[in-house]
């Protein structure tokens, strides 16, 4: 069974960047999309964007356009999410999730990483 | 873009049936998926597609859809079902984006 293991917690200064990794093990990596979802303390889930490793093209939520970069390295079965120009409002748990598309175009995030806490503080 | 709307909180008596709803224009075109999240844990997929449960999800969880509303029903709610529940779907604007509902806190009394 595929597992997604994320990198550890980060503490960053405002204005800096953070790069979170998500390594897949136990199954096929390239043929599935990987999405990134964040959750601010006490708040709901927010989709940031995603990538299909075999194609290498990422898709971003409008809110994060220009600030987020999602990439994937097929050779190491690892996806990355880099967020720049960090501000305090970016303090959140960041999750990666395997993304599957079903009949009728529905989307489901069936396997999740354990989450990475990113704290932005001066 | 589109939005998905959920009631912030719902309660159910132990062993009774509860329905959690999710409304949005995109649900006229795409099925919703549902996620359960307990404090300090990553979300878990419980329903996807028309009404599909991943392996390991109890059959008391079911999904349905009508018009712009998707529903997650728990038949015979258990204490361990107390959690936050989120819906999501494809964005109907055709840009392959994804949108989440704001989440529903389920309390089992």
Q: Which residues of B touch A103 (CB under 8 A)?
A: 49-50
Q: Residue A87: which residues within 8 A CB-CB, separation 6 or more? A: A14, A15, A120
Of A5, A8, A21, the C-alpha closest to A82 is: A21
Q: What's the pLDDT at B1? A: 47
Identify the three-state secondary structure at position B65.
strand
Residue of A nearest to B48 (CA): A108
Q: How far is B39 from chain A (nearest CA, A)?
A: 10
B79–chain A nearest CA distance, Å: 22
Interface check A9 vs B, CB under 8 A: no
Model pLDDT for residues B60-103, shown as the tens digit of each residue: 999 999 999 999 999 999 999 999 999 999 988 877 899 999 99
Give me the pLDDT at residue B2, please: 61
**Contact state of A47 with B103 under an 8 Å Cβ cutoff:** no
Contact A106 B49 (CB under 8 A): yes
Considering only CB atoms, which chain B residues are within 8 Å of A41?
Answer: none
Q: Taking residues B2-17, what's their average pLDDT?
A: 95
3-state secondary structure (DSSP) of residue B79:
helix
3-state SS track over chain A: CCEEEECCCEEECCCCCEEEEEEEECCCCCCCEEEEEEECCCCCEEEEEEECCCCCCEEECHHHCCCEEEEEEHHHCEEEEEECCCCHHHCEEEEEEEEEECHHHCEEEEEECCCEEEEECC
Q: What is the pLDDT along chain A (122 residues), one digit of tens a residue?
A: 899 999 999 999 999 999 999 999 987 777 889 999 999 999 999 999 999 888 888 999 999 999 999 999 999 999 999 999 999 999 999 999 999 987 777 899 999 999 999 999 99
CB–CB contacts below 8 A, A to B: 78
Q: How crowded is the C-beta side of A42, counted as CA atoms within 13 Å?
A: 1
Bridging pattern class, strands B9-12 and A107-112 = unpaired
Using CA atoms, how far residue B99 sits from A2, B16, B17, B31, in Å, is 24, 30, 27, 12
- The reply to whether residue A104 touches residue B50, judged by beta carbons under 8 angstroms, is yes
Nearest CA-CA distance, residue B41 and chain A, Å: 8
What's the pLDDT score for residue A54? 83
* Nearest-angstrom CA–CA distance, A29 and A79: 9
- CA pseudo-torsion sign B65, B52, A45, A27: negative
Q: How far is A87 from chain B (nearest CA, A)?
A: 22
As a whole number, mean pLDDT of residues B8-31 equals 96
């Amino acid at each position: 069974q595929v597992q997604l293991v994320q990198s550890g917690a980060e503490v960053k200064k405002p204005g800096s960047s953070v790069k979170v990794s998500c390594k897949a093990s136990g199954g096929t990596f390239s043929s599935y999309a990987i999405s990134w979802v964040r959750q601010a303390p006490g708040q709901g889930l927010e989709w940031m964007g995603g990538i299909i490793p075999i194609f290498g093209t990422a898709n971003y939520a409008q809110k994060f356009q220009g600030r987020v970069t999602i990439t994937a390295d097929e050779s190491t079965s690892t996806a990355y999410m880099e967020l720049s120009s960090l501000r305090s409002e970016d303090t959140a748990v960041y999750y990666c999730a395997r993304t599957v598309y079903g009949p009728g175009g529905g989307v489901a995030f069936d396997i999740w990483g354990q989450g990475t806490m990113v704290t932005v503080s001066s | 873009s589109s939005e998905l709307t959920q009631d912030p909180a719902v309660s159910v008596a132990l062993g009774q049936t509860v329905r959690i709803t999710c409304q949005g224009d995109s649900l006229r075109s795409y099925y919703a998926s549902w996620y359960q999240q307990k404090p300090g844990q990553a979300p878990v997929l419980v329903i996807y597609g028309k009404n599909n449960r991943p392996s390991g999800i109890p059959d008391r969880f079911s999904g349905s859809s009508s018009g712009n509303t998707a529903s997650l029903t728990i038949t015979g709610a258990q204490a361990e079902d107390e959690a936050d529940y989120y819906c999501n779907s494809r964005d109907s604007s055709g840009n392959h984006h994804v949108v989440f509902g704001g989440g529903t806190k389920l309390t089992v009394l």
